[in-house]
Amino acid sequence: MTYAVIDLGGNQVIIEPGKFYDINYIPANPGDIISFKRVLFLSQSNKYHIGTPCLNNVLVKATVLKHLQGKKIQIFKVKPKKNSRIKKGYRKKLTRILVEDILS
């Protein structure tokens, strides 16, 4: 089983080839092929490679499938003794990618 841990905008994501993931918004068109160079860890058939902090010559290729919005997050603020209640919310922009291959 091949998998890798990559750094995406400050988050570490465990990825496998052939699976899709929802990540933070990337300004790319659907159908574009993108590559991630910040690979922190790589596992290939019981061989492990650990970067310090990143591995050289390891590349993850992925295809952008679509852009979507996440679940709604609601924020409710109350100021006591002021009779002030504020209810707001937002939906985070996400990009769905399909991991094609991990090249080493």
pLDDT digits (tens, 9 = 90+) for 89-103: 999 999 999 999 999
- Structure pTM? 0.83
Give the CA angle between residues 31, 4, 17 to the nearest 5°: 40
Range of the domain at 36: 3-103
Spell out the residues 6+ positions from residue 43 whose beta carbon is closer than 8 angstroms to its own: 1, 2, 3, 4, 49
CB 49, CB 41: distance < 8 Å? yes
The angle formed by the CA atoms of residues 22, 27 and 30, to the nearest 5 degrees, is: 65
Number of domains in the chain: 1
Question: Residue 54 is encoded by which pair of tokens?
Answer: 């990143």
pLDDT per residue as tens digits for the range 18-72 = 999 999 999 999 999 999 999 999 999 889 999 988 999 999 999 999 999 999 9
